[in-house]
Amino acid sequence: MADTKESTGTLDKKSLKNDENIVRIPYDEGFLQSTLPRIAGVIPFAAWFIVVNEFCERFAFYGGSLTFQNYIENPEQTALQRATLERQPGALDKGQSAATALSNYFMFWAYFTPLIGATVADQYWGKYKTILTFSIIYMVGWIVLCTSSIPSGYMEDGTPTWGGFAFPGYIISITIIGLGTGGIKSVVSPMCADQIPKESYMIEKNGKQYIVDPDLTVQHLYNWFYWAINIGSLIGQTVCTTLERSAFWKAYLLPSCMFLLSICIFYSGRKRYVHVPPEGSVILKAYQCIRYSFIRKRKYKATVQPTSKNFAFLDYASSLPGETQDEVAQRKWGDAFPAELRQTLKACSIFPLLTIYWVCYSQMTNNLISQAGQMKRPSWMSNDLINIMDPLILVIIIPIFDYGLYPYLSRKNIHFGYMKRIAIGFFLGGASMAVAAVVQKKIYEAPPGFDHPGDVANDISVWWQIPSYVLIATSEVFASIGSLEYSYTHAPTSMKCLISALSLLPNAGAALIGIFLSPASKDPNMHWMYAGTAVAAGISTVIFYLLFRKFDVEDKEMLDAARALRVPNPKTAAEKAEAEERM
């Protein structure tokens, strides 16, 4: 980590402890002024256990799942074909449409099941126990996949054969893996952010004052969290696509071992974590609150006018003048809950349109892999290896954003709002699909297969796919990380896992759309499929920003008010200093 400098915008633990020019501003020396630059604080040591755990889990998930398309789509190879890399790896020979449909089913299930994990974590078990329990389920899925992908025998020419359990075993395994990863996914990032202290405080270094802002610390943490995901993805995809050339079971054994390691790392940090206890049935309480609000609105709308800007009907769920004792008795929540629910609904309102963005993104896991199989590649490259361009680009550009762009904007007090970031990501995702459409058209115009490519690749280089990967990777920094941060920073404590799960539903919706589109995912129509996706993303970009740009304005107003009025909490600052001395 870097020292605290104007050029970095982050606060380093080592510099905090050893640099004599850094002092904490006592409570009675002033307010947090809006003119002071705001910086990210130290990432607690406990959070790094979760970051490393996520590195291992994503190594397993992305490394293993990248080979699914080839495993299902292509026929098995002879020993000679494996040795000469004459044809892309394969096993079950079900074709591109079936492979794409199953890939989208897996993604749909993996991004729908976070609702289960969120409900269990928020209402019953808490985050730690939920992650540990679903990790065991996840591990069972990998074991089933490993065993079902072992060939039952070999033909005289070295071609492997699979028994009748290989295909149903694959479906069973991805269903179990999807449940396991889903149960973890909505919980792990909120638990990681839970390790960040929630209060702002002031420091001084070399005569300059700074505000250590918890929201910027969460942004800093999530950038590193996402960076770890992509390092894991990069290494996992590179190694697993190499292993699939010799045997698919080897490409699934390594992810199994890495996931076992992730469980051990997560368990080893159990005594260091900040554990936020579950707070009961939030979903049921939210339903009761909304229903109660509409009933009271009909009664009081003539005498009581709501004052809130968003979801104003929830104002009727709080105390009102002239209400009866029976109405008070029906209210099973505190006065703060309607405001928290309003905040939740506001955060969730952006998610439906994000489905179109994730339709663009999901092409990387299936159709772009098949597209690469139709193009000229170096002898050492399988068609799914090009997919590592996405995590490779992210590993390079995330630190640039974290240490360059975002700190610069913070020092200049420029508010780069979440909605603006997500809209930019939307646009870049659509642009990546436009490029893919052009490339597919070029493939259809190239010999020898033209618009019906066969086993022999058409005469066009696979490197033409790079612009698509650059655009989609850059879009993730804006749209994916932006929505992750927004869903956490705008979620009440009691609903963080729930909102995290709901933020993943657009991925599930995109996979569901992919299932319906899978019959069209075949030659010679692929360029129209990419073009249609690009047009849909472009239209959605405009609609998204017009609908939600007001959220950036409201966030800016709230931030300015907080900067001008917030007073440092002396107890929190003292506790923070003591905690950092112990780290």
The secondary structure of 111-171 as a DSSP string is: HHTHHHHHHHIIIII-HHHHHHHHHHHHHHHHHHHHHHTS-SEE-TTS-EE--TTHHHHHH
Answer positive or negative: Cα dihedral of 179, 185, 188, 194. negative
Q: DSSP assignment of 68-87, as one string?
A: HHHHHHSBPPPHHHHHHT-S
pLDDT for res 350: 92
Segments making up each domain of the chain, as ranges:
13-271+343-582
Query: Would you give the DSSP letter of residue 278?
Result: P
Q: Contact at 8 Å (CB) between 410 and 216?
A: yes
The encoded tokens of residue 324 equal 């009866």
Write out pLDDT tens, residues 109-124: 999 999 899 888 888 8
The H-or-E segment that residue 209 falls in is strand 208-212
pTM, to two decimals: 0.77
Is the distance from CB of 99 to CB of 524 less than 8 angstroms? no
Lowest-confidence segment of 6-15, 92-101, 263-272, 545-554 by average pLDDT? 6-15
Answer whether residue 178 shows pLDDT above 60.
Answer: yes
User: What does the pLDDT look like over 403-456, one tens digit per residue?
Assistant: 888 888 877 777 888 999 999 999 999 999 999 999 999 999 999 989 988 778
Residue 479 token pair:
């749209």
The pLDDT assigned to 340 comes to: 85
The single-letter code of the amino acid at 533 is T
* pLDDT in the model for residue 29: 41
Q: What's the full length of the chain, in residues?
A: 583
Q: Which residues pair with 92 in a beta bridge?
A: 75
pLDDT tens for 299-323 read 888 788 888 878 889 989 988 888 8
Asked whether 137 and 176 are in contact (CB, 8 A), the reply is yes
Contact 262, 57 (CB under 8 A): yes
Lowest-confidence pick of 208-212, 379-383, 384-388: 208-212
**Does residue 13 register a pLDDT over 70?**
no
**Cα–Cα distance measured from residue 311 to residue 278, given in angstroms and rounded to the nearest whole number:** 26
**Closest to 237 (Cα-Cα) out of 372, 115, 97:** 372
Residue-wise over 263-275: b if at least 16 C-beta within 10 A, else e?
A: bebbeebeeebee
Tokens, residue 128: 């730690």
DSSP 3-state assignment of 495? helix
Arithmetic mean of pLDDT, 1-16: 41
- The answer to whether residue 217 scores a pLDDT higher than 80 is yes
Location of structure tokens 């065991």: 136
151 in Cβ contact with 161 (< 8 Å): yes
List the Cα angle 440/441/447 in 5-degree steps.
95
Q: How far apart are CA 215 and CA 563, in angstroms?
A: 13
How far apart CA 381 and CA 383 sit, in angstroms, is 6
Q: How do residues 26-59 score in pLDDT, each as one tens digit? A: 433 444 444 677 888 889 999 999 999 999 999 9
The pLDDT of residue 276 is 87
Name the packing angle between helices 418-444 and 351-362 (round to 10°): 30
d(CA 215, CA 236) in angstroms, rounded, equals 31
Give the model's pLDDT for residue 169: 95
State both tokens at 533: 């996706």
| b/e burial code for range 481-509 (CB count within 10 A of at least 16 → b) | bbbbbbbbbbbbebbbbbbbbbbbbbbbb
Instruction: Report the run of H or E that residue 204 belongs to, with start and end.
Output: strand 201-205
pLDDT value for 21: 45
Which residues are 24's β-sheet partners?
A: 203
- Position 155 scores a pLDDT of 87
Please give the sequence-ordered ranges of beta strands (E in DSSP) within 452-569, or none if there are none.
458-461
Output the six-digit token pair for 89: 């790896």
The alpha carbons of the chain give a radius of gyration, in whole angstroms, of 26
Up-side HSE of residue 407: CA atoms within 13 Å toward CB? Answer: 25
Q: Please tell me the CATH superfamily of domain 13-271+343-582, with its number.
A: MFS general substrate transporter like domains (1.20.1250.20)
Under a CB-based contact definition with an 8 Å cutoff, are residues 261 and 232 in contact?
Answer: no
Instruction: Please state, in angstroms and rounded to a whole number, the distance separating the CA atoms of residues 82 and 75.
Output: 12
Residues 434, 436, 442, 444: is their CA dihedral positive or negative? negative
pLDDT at 488 over 90: no
Task: Please state, in angstroms and rounded to a whole number, the distance separating the CA atoms of residues 531 and 528.
Answer: 5
> Which is higher by pLDDT, 17 or 484?
484
Rounded to whole angstroms, the Cα distance separating 434 from 446 reads 19
pLDDT at 509 over 80: yes
CA gap 393, 467 in Å, rounded: 11
Average pLDDT, the chain: 85
Amino acid in position 304? V
Structure tokens at 198: 């929630």
Q: Which of 553, 505, 547 is nearest to 354 (CA)?
A: 505
Per-residue model confidence (pLDDT) at position 573: 40
For residue 491, give the DSSP letter.
S
Cα dihedral 225, 266, 501, 396 in deg (nearest 10): 20
pLDDT at 55: 95
